[in-house]
């Protein structure tokens, strides 16, 4: 029985899982394929975190610094897990890194390989994302927000009219993603607030099907967006985006008014949904854990066990399991750490 | 430094926290004021759990049985926490139980005292809940669903037309609950499916503002409700419910059609939201932890710490923190257990 837990993926879930494991007296080997920790908030240049507008880089740096203080946490960047053998309590995990291949004895594994943003060109060109420079995705706008400089790409001017189109790559049977990506209503609204702060003369519109500001997001983001920042929410279906006279025309149906609409915009932001990252799909194969039809990791015993996969001793946390906000991610990482350490302490596979 | 964690509240969060604590090698003293464990799913006679329709009683009995196998878990029913002194690592918790008052040395405390259903008569009579026998709340219908016998209270007949009114006690500034209660869209839809299974000739309608079926609930509940069970979703605001000719009249505005509506129903179910339980409010005072304006426990460092209160060594999990579904609850309970045990292991207050 090894006292080591291999954590795969160095984003928020992986860092939180590794920290908890170290704090529980076990050794965490955190394997990250990129050159540094931080995950999607860092590599996609997120500006502010939902819902409290904390600076994303500062927040992640804080997590990374706290992890670095833990003697029990061994971080391996530029490294990937390429094989696993053995069973719960006595896995041998092959980690390929800069100094070659190493076999790590591990009692348990926590998979934290997260999500990727839906690609609006994955199957067909959706809303001309690749054709029109002024049609962005959520993560493209994050880069501008982080620089505190929001400009219409084709003109270099501050946008006068900007809109978000919700549910791009989510709730869509045609592209195979029936699920709701959960966070995009909150993220779009957070971005709209940030744009209105940076460019107070702009007008911001969000076209949505259902505004899914669950729990406290309702009063933390949705009400201020409307009342303090005058973001306009329009229940409607956007059918196409066209270029016209140097600007964009957004066409669709205003479902509340029950009539077609055609509105001019300088910039359109596609609220792209969550899909499993390449790392999640690859690691599911390497580890031999079940995926759901979307490619996310399948939880074996929901809803009363949120982190166990079908393979004993292998747990998953965060957005590798499906759409998750940061709080979901942090909680499930703590829960996965607890179950992984418990398994090692017991010296035998999990008692349910 | 005590190796004991006192867990307050014996519902899903408390049971899960106590199990994790015991599995991590510490002692959990689980204090429950009622005569048995199980919490709201048991005491409100929940039928099936969202989203997979597991039998609620069986699921809770399974959790309770698993906890009973843990030597490290000491369950105190008919007991309450009445005082606390000391500080993180060295609390003395006063537990009043059937055999008198006891001082329990504890390194940490996890508060799992949950929520209560919004009372539609709390401030004013909303929708004549207390006046009309055929106007129910979600938990009233759960009792019928558990018995597999859904009847219109005033007639004893199987309902021909039943509807749910969403956001009762949620998203409502007038009653002080600005937040969205998160689970009611899912629960109402789950109930509508159950009613249609039990009474296939009934017609089921859900009146909603936004249908907040976040994440996988979209395809787990919302799509089957519409496609397999023909539940009808109507975006609308219900302004009043009246009795007329032995039935109920639901009046409001269909916001999609943009016109007033008046529809006859045999039964109306109010989708009441979540409020902090009496236990949550009382224990916040006893433990000296901060509450938000709604009375739920305030998390000190969101979103990257989801379970720490403002008082070092006192953590909270589940719906004591605010609207939460079962998966949120189980994950946060695991995370709180991990942090509580880590604090004791370190022998000093939390390193952030």
User: B169 vs chain A: nearest CA distance in angstroms?
Assistant: 13
Q: Enumerate the residues of chain B whose CB falls inside 8 A of the CB of residue A186.
A: none
- Secondary structure of B174-223 as H, E, C letters: CCCECCCCCCHHHHHHHHHHHHHHHCCCCEEEEEECCCCCCCCHHHHHHH
Amino acid B257: pLDDT:
82
Question: Is B330 in Cβ contact with A334 (below 8 Å)?
Answer: no
Mean pLDDT of B263-279: 98
CA distance to partner chain B, nearest, from residue A269 (Å): 21
A219 touches chain B (CB under 8 A): yes
Q: Considering only the beta carbons, identify the residue of B52, B213, B342 that sits closest to A24.
A: B342
- A23-45: average pLDDT: 97
Distance between CA atoms of residues A277 and A293, nearest Å: 14
pLDDT in tens, B92-123: 999 999 999 999 999 999 999 999 999 999 87
Residue B51: is the preceding peptide bond cis (ω within 30°)? Answer: yes
Average pLDDT over residues A45-56: 96
A115 contacts in chain B (CB < 8 Å):
none
Q: Which run of H or of E encompasses B133?
A: none
Is the pLDDT assigned to residue B352 strictly greater than 50?
A: no
Evaluate if residue A349 carries a pLDDT over 60: no
- Give the one of B49, B303, B325 whose C-beta lies nearest to A327's C-beta: B303
pLDDT at B245: 84
Say if residues B167 and B206 touch (Cβ distance below 8 Å): no
Cβ distance of A218 and B304 shorter than 8 Å:
no
> What percent of chain B clears pLDDT 70, i.e. is strictly above it?
99
Sheet containing A232-244: give its strands across.
A135-137, A267-272, A161-168, A203-208, A232-244, A247-254, A259-265
Overall fold of domain A118-273: FAD/NAD(P)-binding domain (3.50.50)
Interface contacts A/B by beta carbons within 8 Å: 190
Q: Which residues have CB under 8 Å from B65's CB, separation 6+? A: none
Residues of chain A with CATH 3.50.50.60: 4-114+277-346, 118-273
B52-105 per-position pLDDT tens digit: 999 999 999 999 999 999 999 999 999 999 999 999 999 999 999 999 999 999
List the single residue in B23, B322, B335 with the smallest CB-CB distance to A331.
Answer: B335
* Whether pLDDT at A350 is above 60: no
What's residue A91's pLDDT? 98
Task: Please indicate whether residue A229 or residue B350 has the higher confidence score (pLDDT).
Answer: A229
CA distance A131 to A125: 8
The arithmetic mean of pLDDT across residues A186-197, rounded, is: 98
Residue B333, classified by CB atoms within 10 Å of its CB into exposed (0-12), middle (13-18) or buried (19+), is buried
pLDDT at B125 over 90: no
pLDDT at B351: 44
DSSP state of A221: I
Does domain A4-114+277-346 bear CATH number 2.60.120.1060? no
Which pLDDT tens digit goes with each residue over A267-303?
999 999 999 999 999 999 999 999 999 999 999 999 9
A352 touches chain B (CB under 8 A): yes
Q: Rounded to a whole number, what is the distance in Å from the CA of A197 to chain B's nearest CA?
A: 22
Chain B, 271 to 300: residues with Cβ < 8 Å from chain A are none
Q: Does B28 touch chain A (CB under 8 A)?
A: no
Write phi, then psi, for A54 (nearest 5 degrees).
Answer: -65, 145
For the segment A15-31, the average pLDDT, to the nearest whole number, is 98
Contact B168, B272 (CB under 8 A): yes
pLDDT classification of A348: cutoffs 50, 70, 90: low
User: Tens of pLDDT along A163-180?
Assistant: 999 999 999 999 999 999
pLDDT at B40: 97
pLDDT at residue A93 tops 90: yes
Q: Residue A122: its pLDDT value, please?
A: 86
Tell me, what's the pLDDT at B348?
52
Please write the tens of the pLDDT for every residue from A239-273. Answer: 999 999 889 999 999 988 889 999 999 999 999 99
């Amino acid at each position: 029985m090894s006292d080591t837990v291999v954590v795969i993926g160095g984003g928020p879930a992986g860092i939180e899982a590794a920290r908890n494991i170290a704090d529980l007296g076990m050794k965490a080997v955190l394997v990250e394929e990129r050159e540094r920790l931080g995950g999607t908030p860092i590599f996609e240049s997120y500006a502010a975190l939902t819902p409290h507008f904390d600076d994303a880089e500062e927040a992640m740096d804080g997590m990374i610094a706290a992890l670095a203080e833990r003697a029990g946490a061994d971080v391996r960047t530029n490294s990937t897990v390429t094989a696993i053998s053995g069973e719960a309590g006595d896995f041998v995990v092959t980690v390929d890194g800069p100094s070659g291949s190493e076999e790590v004895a591990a009692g348990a594994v926590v998979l934290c390989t997260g999500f990727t943003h839906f690609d609006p060109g994955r199957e067909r060109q959706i809303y001309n994302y690749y054709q029109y420079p002024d049609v962005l995705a959520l993560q493209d706008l994050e880069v501008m927000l982080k620089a505190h400089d929001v400009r219409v790409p084709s003109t270099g001017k501050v946008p006068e009219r900007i809109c978000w189109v919700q549910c791009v790559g989510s709730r869509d049977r045609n592209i195979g993603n029936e699920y709701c990506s959960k966070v995009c209503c909150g993220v779009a609204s957070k971005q709209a607030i940030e744009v209105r702060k940076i460019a107070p003369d702009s007008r911001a519109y969000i076209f949505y099907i259902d505004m899914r500001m669950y729990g406290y997001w309702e009063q933390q983001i949705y009400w201020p967006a409307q009342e303090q920042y005058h973001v306009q929410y329009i229940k409607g279906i956007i059918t196409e985006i066209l270029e016209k006279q140097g600007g964009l025309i957004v066409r669709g149906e205003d479902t509340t008014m029950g009539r077609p609409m055609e509105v001019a915009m300088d910039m359109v932001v596609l609220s792209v949904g969550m899909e499993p990252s390449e790392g999640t799909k690859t690691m599911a194969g390497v580890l031999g854990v079940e995926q759901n039809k979307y490619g996310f990791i399948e939880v074996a015993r929901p809803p009363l066990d949120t982190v166990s996969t079908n393979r004993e001793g292998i747990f998953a946390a965060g957005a590798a399991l499906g759409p998750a906000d940061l709080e979901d991610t942090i909680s499930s990482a703590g829960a996965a750490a607890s179950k992984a350490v418990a398994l090692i302490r017991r010296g035998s596979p999990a008692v349910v």
